[in-house]
Amino acid sequence: MSDIAVHVDHVTKSFRMYHERNQSLKSTVMRRKTSVHEDFLALKDVTFDVPSGSTFGLIGSNGSGKSTLLKCLANIYYPNQGSITHNGKLAAMLEVGSGFHAELSGRENVFLNGSILGMSRKEITRKFEEIVDFSGVEQFIDQPVKNYSSGMYVRLGFAIAINVQPDILVVDEVLAVGDQEFQEKCYSKFNDLKHSGKTVILVSHSMDVVDSMCDRVAWLSHGMLQEVGEASTTIASYLDSLHEGQGE
Amino acid sequence: MKYLQELWSSRELLWNLASREVRGQYKRTIFGQLWSLANPLVLMVIYTFIFGFIFKSNPPPGNPSGLDIFALWLLCGLLPWTFLANVVNASASSLVANAGLIQKVSFSRAVLPLSQVGSNAYNWAFEMAVLLIAVSVVGGFVLPWLPLLLVGMFLLAVFASGLGLLFAVANVYFRDTQYLLSIALQMWMYLTPIIYPMRLVRTESDKWGGIFGTPVTVAEIYNLNPMVHFVELFRALIYDNRFPSGANWMICIGWAVVTLVVGFAVFRRNERKLAEIL
């Protein structure tokens, strides 16, 4: 296994901002073009490496391009320029419980959601106990998920996603929901992953979490990489920049 | 090739999504799966009353089966048609309906429209089984044709998948597609010999000869509709109990393959852009 888990190489991603978005046939036929647009650069020439077995944090203010970068990592968006290469199986947890079917039971949803995340039936059967155990919804596993509380919903979703057992796990701020106890359970799960040599990339607005969890941190601002390095120093310079802004 | 491999590896997901549709569809209904029969049965009663009894569309009796029951003759065309129409409608909205999933999870997107083919095929198979039983009860000798009938059903499913993939992408770009589709499908149904026999079209066409002085006849244009040939195939097997002509098979296979290839080509070309456009 190589030392670098993810290599982000000069990634640029732009979105089209539509001044007139023609989503109807009529306007297309009348104007003979689908739209008038201008490009908005969400990521500008971002380059960094994530070392294997590390926990890597992405920080930055709202709209700085963190989520776009995460989606590029997760193969949901594709960069316009540059490339992202990764060694090993990558799984992304951008939202938990996406694809749950409200009328189906928790059990059926574990199998459905697991296969959406790329697990085979065999794998899911093997890990079923573990998933249910971790989520703490044993009692309700045969109830339709529409009767679940939002906490139960998230816990079950998280339990499935974490059991995909990827080499690289990409996590958006999905843990804001769920009680203290469950959050701690999740963080200890991340630590387990780290100890078994897996890589975790996470986005968070909570600097305490980033500071305690991450070895290295990248700071994005307006789509540009400001700084990448040791967690504490990067966080410090990010916070400094915020306070400077306030001082002016 | 790599694309096909990727699709093959997501067959389990495809199966799970299709069974999610099937299981979720009639959940908490008293009659369950029987509801899938309700719509074709009501259509059968209406069309039989109007076109069998009042207008007398008088289809020829099954040859060599000798069957002469309008309702059964109608269903041989109507059931394949409703399957196609349901698949095209459901596939067209499948990507838009699952926008949340597409924007959050990376997986082979083609499974979304294709799972609609799967779940509708399940309902269709159920309806066809009931039809086969009915035909057998009134004296049709349909069981020996079952293997060929399954091949025919597979071909129509392939054709429907191709259309579904195309319209799924089209609907992402133009939301008008789904409304346009329901109109187009209505017209398409009446342009297919479901409630009237093909013979009537031929008679009229022969009367008129070439249109506007050209050697092209109405029947030739009419025959461009692929569903004409699919319905002919199903009627030959179920109602007439005979082997459909070689030409009939070739046309159906041709339409199915070409549509699927075009559907996949278009889908693949647009697949990566879906998350942004939705």
A101 contacts in chain B (CB < 8 Å): 20, 24
Residue with tokens 């050697």: B215
Q: Above 60 in pLDDT, residue A10?
A: yes
Q: Above 70 in pLDDT, residue A182?
A: yes
Q: Which of A70, A111, A115 to mutate to test the interface with B (most CBs of B within 10 A)?
A: A115
Q: Is residue B81 part of a domain?
A: yes
Q: How close B117 gets to chain A, by Cα (Å)?
A: 18
Q: How many CB pairs under 8 A join A and B?
A: 71
Of B28, B100, B276, the CB nearest to A98: B100
First-to-final CA distance of chain B: 27
Q: What is the pLDDT of residues A44-73, one digit of tens each?
A: 999 999 988 888 999 988 888 888 899 999
B100 contacts in chain A (CB < 8 Å): 95, 98
Q: Above 90 in pLDDT, residue A101?
A: no
Q: Is residue B48 part of a domain?
A: yes
Q: Above 70 in pLDDT, residue A137?
A: yes
Q: C-alpha B52: how far from its chain's center?
A: 23
Residue with tokens 């030959």: B236
A34 contacts in chain B (CB < 8 Å): 173
Q: Is residue B229 part of a domain?
A: yes
Cβ-Cβ contacts under 8 Å for A180 (sequence gap 6 or more) = none
CATH number of A17's domain: 3.40.50.300
Rounded-to-5 percentages of helix, strand, coil across chain B: 80, 0, 20
What is the token pair recorded at A132? 């249910």
Cis amide prior to B64 (ω within 30 degrees):
yes
Q: Is residue B23 part of a domain?
A: no
The H-or-E segment that residue B245 falls in is none
CA atoms within 13 A on the CB side of A91: 21
Q: Domain total for chain A?
A: 1
Inter-chain touch A116–B176, beta carbons under 8 Å:
no
List helix spans (H) across B216-245.
218-222, 226-234
Of B24, B103, B176, the CB nearest to A25: B176
Of A15, A77, A117, the CB nearest to B105: A117
B56: buried, middle or exposed (CB in 10 Å: 19+, 13-18, 0-12)?
exposed
State the pLDDT at residue B90.
95
**Residue of chain A nearest B100, judged by CA positions:** A98
Q: Tell me which residue range forms the domain holding A30.
A: 4-247
Average pLDDT over residues A225-242: 89
State how beta strands A90-93 and A168-171 pair: parallel
Q: Above 80 in pLDDT, residue A159?
A: yes
Q: Above 60 in pLDDT, residue A1?
A: no
Residue type present at position B172: V
Output the CA angle A232-A237-A238, nearest 5 degrees: 95
Q: Is residue B239 part of a domain?
A: yes
State the pLDDT at residue A247.
46
Q: Is residue B234 part of a domain?
A: yes
Cβ-Cβ contacts under 8 Å for A157 (sequence gap 6 or more) = A96, A97, A98, A100, A113
pTM above 0.90, yes or no: no
The CA distance from B142 to B152, in Å, is: 14
State the pLDDT at residue B189.
95
Q: What is the pLDDT of residues B248-263, one digit of tens each?
A: 999 999 999 999 999 9
Closest CA to A48 of A84, A79, A87, A91: A84
SS3 A132: helix
A33: buried, middle or exposed (CB in 10 Å: 19+, 13-18, 0-12)?
exposed
What is the token pair recorded at B5? 């491999």
Residues of chain B with pLDDT under 70: 1
Q: C-alpha A129: how far from its chain's center?
A: 25
Contact A47, A9 (CB under 8 A): yes
Q: Is residue B174 part of a domain?
A: yes
B89-98 as b/e: b if 16+ CB within 10 A: bbbbbbbbeb
A167 or B161: which leads in pLDDT: B161
Q: Tell me which residue range forms the domain holding B105.
A: 31-196+208-277
State the pLDDT at residue B120.
95
Q: Domain total for chain B?
A: 1
Inter-chain touch B101–A108, beta carbons under 8 Å:
no
Q: Is residue B172 part of a domain?
A: yes
State the pLDDT at residue A32.
61
Inter-chain touch A108–B103, beta carbons under 8 Å:
no
Give the ipTM of the model, two decimals please.
0.80
Catalogue the E-assigned strands of chain B: none
What is the token pair recorded at A246? 């306030």
